[in-house]
Chain A
Amino acid sequence: MNLAAATNENLANISNTLIYSSMAVYTLAFFAHIAEWVFGSRSKVGRTAAALNKDSATGPAVKAQAAEKGGTAVLERPQVVTRSAAGSRDVPDGPGAAGGTFKGDLWGRIAVSLTVVAFAVQAAGVVARALSVQRAPWGNMYEFSITFSTVAVGAYLILLALRKNVRWIGLMLVTTVLLDLGIATTTLYTDSDQLVPALHSYWLWIHVSTAIICGAVFYLGAVGTLLYLFRDSYENKIASGGTPGKFATSVMERLPAAKSLDTFSYRINAAVFPLWTFTIIAGAIWAGDAWGRYWGWDPKEVWSFITWVAYAAYLHARATAGWKGRKAAYLALVAFGCWLFNYYGVNIFVTGKHSYAGV
């Protein structure tokens, strides 16, 4: 064995250690999030119910927004008043998992800090893997999976850094990241090695990286959609005079309003959809170079197309009267399900031209 190969294996081992370490830190973050939710459940908020009850009494509310930049000129400058469209509920967002409690908030902050640490460790693991193989670390399902969850967490942290209201995703995200890494390190693990000639192309960097980004960000959108469905039924139940269960109230109460969740997932999905279109087109261009046709109904191509059509249907549905809201949300979940099947299902159960390096 020559020297170069030895260094590579060394780096590959470092990468594995880093990935395992990140799993340990994610586990701690998971428990911190649990603590956040548990402590937060002790607060009594009741904002949703109050807003919905008031709502039904007084009709659409108008809320004023402070629109000034400076402090001193506030009184002199014009203030912009916003008004929500007629017919839509104007429910305030929940206070977040911590429920406004000090202890819950502390644990939430600890969880986010741990997530940042775990993300850094995991990203280092991906980079080490890339260095060990001297190429883009997306040659097999193991590498794809570890990069996928890194990007999902990265996107979440970027949204947090932009001061968007996304901390409610935390627990669900960390849980699924652990699941993803667990599957990756056990069943999908592949030793680090070079690629088959068909993957020697700069299109690997373009096509696969965008595919990973799309999947990771679509995932955040799907979490938003799922929680929207729960929160929407919760709000509907209250609005129609029902009393949801204690546990449901405790959890749903602290989530953002259904409308905010719906807007969140729409923005995410709409922002990623053009990138997904680009991914498919980049793949087609690469296929044209590698396989002699740009579109040949290979299973992976078919499922990318199905995913694309499903997301297109979602975006149309959201603009169509009678399809907005829950129906569109179900479509978004179906679309993400297609993406997932395209990744796991097609790689594992279907053989096609996208089968490389074992899986």
Chain B
Amino acid sequence: MSNTNTTDERDLGQAGEQLSTAPREEPTATLPSMGVIGWARWFWRQLTSMRVALILLFLLSLGAVPGSLIPQNSVDELKVQTFKEAHTTVSPVYEKLQFFDVYSSVWFSAIYILLFVSLIGCIVPRTWQFVGQLRGRPPGAPRKLTRLPAYTTWRTDAEPERVREVAHSLLCRRRFRSHVVGDAVAAEKGYLRETGNLLFHIALIVMLIAFAGGQLFKSEGGKLIVEGDGFANTITQYDDFKSGSLFDDDDLAPFSFDLQDFVGTYERNGPQRGTPRTYEARVTYAEGADGETKKKVIEVNKPLVVDGTKVYLNAHGYAPVISVKDGKGKEVYRSAVPLLPIDNNVTSTGAIKVMDGYKDKNGKKSQLGFQAFFVPTFAGDGQGTMFSQYPGLDYPVLALNGYYGSLGVDSGLPQNVYQLDTSKMKEFKDSNGDKLKKRLRPGETMKLPDGAGSITFESVEEWASFQITRQPASGWALTGAVAAIIGLAGSLFIQRRRVWVRAVRGADGVTVVEMAGLGRSESAKLPEELTGLAIALHDEAPTASGPDPDHRPDQPSEEPAEGAEK
């Protein structure tokens, strides 16, 4: 983040040295003729050079591109699956190149690890060098101050010692680090630039480590909860669960919460009718195994935070409460069945599975399955559509059709709870021999044919799904981020500059004052500041009356400073 003016530094020898600790570029990298150590040294010098750092930065941004265009496993595994099915030719190639896991791929990791090694290799020596500069003093004035980017001179009657004294205290008052070397005062200001620069780069390393640590120890899982139900934070309770490679089950914070009520409001009017306006999940939660219960409203941007674990509101939907009676009128099933929304108006589908306890009219054990299609706001009979018109519960209707036989849940294979496997089931038929199906309003019942029992749509509950995540070290990442911004502001907005004031008695006995300033970059501020200093000093040491033999500010000598010309 620095803009070194290397030309100046070369020109001015020791005076311009170390105005920055930025690494010097070697003109051409000569190939080493030595053995392993020589090569290692050459490699290290290359890696820590600015040129290679630039190339690595470029590669880093280039490497990040495919991850934004190709679906990523870390973001959406389902999308990756769909992509692979749709692009069978390129997918194996992408797979080989780890394009579905760009940000954890070997090549991407290689780029940023090399970049950070290069960064460390650069800032460690710079820090030492800077500490050395802080412990030392600003270097003495160069012989020819006229060679500097900003220069002024005048003759005064004041004694040279007096001028230096005044200049020294003036510079100190203006917060320069100042001292007298020989016939001149040397002063420097703006050390915070280098401090900011180093702070920024160290903060980047802190952020990287915090992010990596967070990835290794993180855990995140999802849980769908119907109103009235609850969740305790153990792995078995999650619907799905992902964790970093160093995660331990004991890392899960012990807490539990119950979903009391879910409230969603939606736009009623206008072209965006149906757009969600608020989602609120009202929960009670308890910390630890048996802590006291507290109330909390979880909203989309306001997670519940318990002991470093955050509970986010992710999605919501409806769960019709269904009861099923067998042929004898005995209730064998009663449950709120969460259905998955398929559009923005929360048209929902799912399956009702009666696994145990049901006996058909002959008293034989059987299983029932129903395909459920639910709309919170029905268009009305005769409208011909079974799609919801509005996401709120204005006119809920549940459409069902049923099957009997084996649900296939005993096969041992995991089954999707929202889908029915009807391969070993038979459809219920109505008296005409058609598929038995009915639209139910809450409280209505569909009778199953031939005394097979009945199914009742009792009422509607809402469900909310939560994402429960724990990402350690995010505090460190935030600290690093804040430090990075502060450091960056320091390194970009603060000028580091040196000022020299030389006062010597001329041949005619009159004191000649010379002032010059040097900054790391050519800035309009440098001459302005020097002017301010010169005017202040001039007030104490005014121009001597009488002729000015040689020094005219607008005709500085053109002769070069010693060793300055290339």
* Contact surface of A with B, Cβ cutoff 8 Å: 1-2, 5, 62, 64-65, 67, 69, 76-88, 191, 193-194, 196-198, 200-201, 203, 263, 266, 270-271, 273-274, 277-278, 281, 284-286, 288-299, 302-303, 305-306, 309-310, 312-313, 315-323, 338, 346, 350, 352, 357
Contact = CB atoms under 8 A, between A and B. Distances in A.
A194 B277 contact: yes
B103 to A, nearest CB: 5
Contacts of A352: 68
Given A81-B554, A274-B492, A281-B485, A292 B534 contact: no
A285 B478 contact: yes
Contacts of A309: 57, 60-61, 64
Interface in B495-512: none
A346 B299 CA distance: 27
Nearest to B470: A292
Contacts of A88: 7
Interface string B131-165: 00000000000000001111111100000000000
A270 B300 contact: no
A302 B485 CA distance: 19
Interface stretch (B224-232, B246-254, B266-274, B427-435): B266-274
Interface stretch (B48-56, B183-191, B400-408, B453-461): B48-56
Nearest to A69: B535
B538 A193 contact: no
A271 B53 contact: no
Contact of B553 (A1, A81, A313): A81
A313 B515 CA distance: 37
A294 B471 contact: yes
Contact of A281 (B22, B277, B481): B481
A78 B299 contact: no
Given A5-B269, A196-B276, A297-B74, A274 B553 contact: no
A79 B530 CA distance: 10
Contact of A85 (B149, B151, B301): B149
Contacts of B269: 1-2, 5
A80 B534 contact: yes
Given A194-B275, A196-B276, A292 B270 contact: no
A213 B51 CA distance: 31
B167 to A, nearest CB: 13
Contact of A293 (B51, B277, B469): B469
Nearest to A307: B61
A224 B286 CA distance: 59
B211 interface: yes
B3 A266 contact: yes
B267 A194 contact: yes
Interface string B294-329: 000001111100000010100000000000000000
Contacts of A281: 481-482, 484-485
Contacts of A82: 149-151, 527
Given A77-B538, A81-B554, A86-B11, A299 B68 contact: yes
A83 B5 CA distance: 14
B536 to A, nearest CB: 11
B22 A274 contact: no
B8 interface: yes
Nearest to A315: B1
A81 B534 CA distance: 12
8 contacts: A80-B530, A82-B151, A193-B275, A194-B267, A198-B300, A281-B481, A292-B467, A322-B25
A240 to B, nearest CB: 21
Contacts of A77: 534-535, 538, 543
Contacts of A306: 61, 64-65
Interface in B177-226: 211, 220
Contacts of B488: 273-274, 277
Could you say which interface size class chain B belongs to? 35 or more
B151 A83 contact: yes
Contacts of B279: 197
B380 interface: no
Contact of B481 (A62, A78, A284, A298): A284
Interface string B450-486: 0000000000000000010101001001100110110
Q: Max chain B CB contacts within 10 Å: which of A271, A305, A320? A: A320
B531 interface: yes
Nearest to A200: B301
B6 interface: yes
A270 B553 contact: no
Given A80-B527, A86-B11, A284-B481, 14 more contacts: A65-B527, A69-B535, A77-B534, A78-B153, A80-B150, A83-B556, A88-B7, A194-B275, A200-B300, A290-B301, A295-B211, A315-B1, A316-B1, A346-B68
Contact of A193 (B25, B271, B467): B271
Contacts of A290: 300-301, 312
Given A274-B492, A285-B478, A313-B58, A292 B152 contact: no
B271 A291 contact: no
B57 A313 contact: yes
A302 B61 CA distance: 9
Contact of B50 (A193, A295, A320): A320
Given A197-B278, A313-B61, A317-B54, A67 B531 contact: yes
A197 B150 contact: no
A277 to B, nearest CB: 6
A38 B267 CA distance: 54
B489 interface: yes
B513 to A, nearest CB: 8
